[in-house]
């Protein structure tokens, strides 16, 4: 199994859409974990179209941690919901924080969650870590992660903002080589290679600019015809195959 963390420096380049797109194209069992410290309902109200999590998620997990009921992988899985009904590759979603103060209360529990995620031996984990802020990323998650992907759009404001956050982001990594760059919409106007060279961060992917496909994920829009042939979907498939650890190619 692998833990891969996705984040951004600012704006809204598409961290959640990308984490979701990768989860839905991941060629092995996968858990998408919403660990964004800024509470949002992007997946439940967007792609899952208003699904009620019934109290499951990081909030429910905190209550269990506090009451000491249960432990290990089953406790974690009990707080997840199904992401789709693919019988071959189970895909689950761990909902995130539901009120603004809860991330602060969770600081103490990141190591416990990271340990549980690492125990999911047959399942890879994609962590939506949201936007970086002054506190950086939860260290316990980063330590367990095999890769930390920072996403950016290709315009100057996005790249210049990422440059501001890079020193702290790199300082927070136990191994600098874990860091990779995913450009969303390379060529608008700067190419992904130009951005990677100018920031000195390894380029992992250049995802196509494709608002209609992205809106299926971020807004719950009805899928366009031949979703799987859309450029962005193919981009997610290619990145999933590239990232997942065993080198199994995606169907
Ligand atoms: N590859 C893409 N091409 C075009 N629009 C995208 C792409 N990825 C995401 N978006 C759009 O960008 C907006 C922000 O996406 P979201 O995933 O919520 O970003 P974040 O999690 O970084 O805040 C949404 O409107 C989404 O549809
Ligand atoms: Mg998001």
118-145: per-residue pLDDT in tens? 999 899 999 999 999 888 999 999 999 9
185 lines ligand 1 (CB under 6 A): yes
- Which of 6, 9, 10, 12 best tests ligand 1's pocket when mutated (most atoms within 8 Å of CB)? 12
* pLDDT band with cut points at 50, 70 and 90 for residue 249: very low
Ligand 1 atom closest to Cα of residue 20: 17
Tell me the pLDDT of the chain averaged across its residues: 94
Distances (CA, A) of 35 to 58, 129, 137, 210: 8, 5, 10, 25
69-120: per-residue pLDDT in tens? 777 899 999 999 999 988 888 999 999 999 888 888 899 999 999 999 999 9
Q: Is position 40 within any domain? A: yes
Separation of alpha carbons 250 and 239, rounded Å: 10
- Which of 5, 16, 17, 239 best tests ligand 1's pocket when mutated (most atoms within 8 Å of CB)? 17
* Amino acid 72: pLDDT: 85
Domain count, the chain: 1
Q: Could you give the count of Cα atoms lying within 13 Å of 8 in the half-sphere of its Cβ? A: 24
Range 161-186 average pLDDT: 97
Q: Is position 248 within any domain? A: no
Q: Which residues surround ligand 2, an ion (CB under 5 A)?
A: 15-16
231 lines ligand 1 (CB under 6 A): no
Distances (CA, A) of 181 to 6, 71, 154: 10, 35, 11
Whole-number Å distance, alpha carbon 130 to ligand 2 midpoint, is: 5
Q: CATH number, domain at 8?
A: 3.40.50.300
Which of the pair, 1 or 6, is modelled with greater confidence? 6
Helix (H, G, I), strand (E, B) or coil at 7: strand
Q: Is position 78 within any domain? A: yes
20-76: per-residue pLDDT in tens? 999 999 999 999 999 999 999 999 999 999 999 999 999 999 999 999 777 789 999
Number of helical H runs and strand E runs in the chain = 10, 8
Quick one: what percent of the chain has pLDDT higher than 70?
Answer: 97
Whole-number Å distance, alpha carbon 153 to ligand 1 midpoint, is: 10
CB 98 within 8 A of CB 57: yes
* pLDDT band with cut points at 50, 70 and 90 for residue 247: very low
Q: Is position 251 within any domain? A: no
Distances (CA, A) of 158 to 26, 151, 169, 232: 28, 10, 16, 20
Q: Is position 249 within any domain? A: no
Whole-number Å distance, alpha carbon 42 to ligand 1 midpoint, is: 11
Q: Whose CA is nearest to atom 7 of ligand 1?
A: 214
Helix (H, G, I), strand (E, B) or coil at 19: helix
Q: Which helix (H) or strand (E) holds 61?
A: helix 58-67
Whole-number Å distance, alpha carbon 68 to ligand 2 midpoint, is: 30
Ligand 1 atom closest to Cα of residue 217: 27
Distances (CA, A) of 137 to 94, 103, 140, 150, 210: 18, 12, 9, 11, 28
Q: Is position 41 within any domain? A: yes
215 lines ligand 1 (CB under 6 A): yes
Length of the chain: 251
Handedness of CA 180, 112, 12, 55 (dihedral sign): positive
Ligand 1 atom closest to Cα of residue 235: 1
Q: Is position 250 within any domain? A: no
**In which domain, by residue range, is 227 found?**
3-243
16 lines ligand 1 (CB under 6 A): yes
């Amino acid at each position: 199994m692998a833990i891969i963390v996705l984040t951004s420096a600012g704006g809204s380049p598409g961290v959640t859409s990308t984490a979701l797109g990768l989860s839905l194209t991941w060629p092995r069992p996968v858990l998408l974990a919403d660990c964004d410290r800024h509470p949002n309902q992007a997946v439940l109200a967007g792609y899952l179209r208003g699904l009620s999590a019934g109290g499951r998620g990081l909030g429910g997990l905190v209550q269990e941690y506090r009451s000491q009921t249960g432990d290990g992988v089953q406790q974690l899985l009990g707080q997840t919901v199904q992401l789709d009904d693919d019988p071959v590759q189970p895909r689950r979603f761990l909902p995130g924080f539901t009120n603004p103060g809860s991330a602060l209360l969770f600081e103490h529990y990141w190591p416990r969650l990271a340990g549980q995620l690492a125990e999911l031996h047959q399942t890879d984990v994609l962590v939506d870590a949201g936007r970086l802020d002054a506190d950086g990323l939860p260290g316990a998650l980063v330590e367990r992660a095999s890769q930390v992907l920072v996403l950016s759009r290709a315009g100057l404001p996005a790249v210049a903002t990422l440059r501001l956050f890079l020193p702290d982001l790199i300082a927070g990594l136990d191994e600098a080589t874990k860091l990779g760059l995913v450009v969303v919409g390379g060529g608008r106007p700067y190419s992904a290679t130009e951005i990677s060279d100018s920031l000195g961060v390894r380029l992992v992917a250049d995802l196509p600019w494709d608002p209609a496909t992205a809106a299926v994920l971020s807004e719950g829009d009805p899928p366009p015809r031949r979703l799987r042939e859309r450029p962005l979907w193919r981009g997610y498939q290619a990145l999933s195959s590239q990232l997942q650890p065993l080198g199994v190619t995606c169907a």
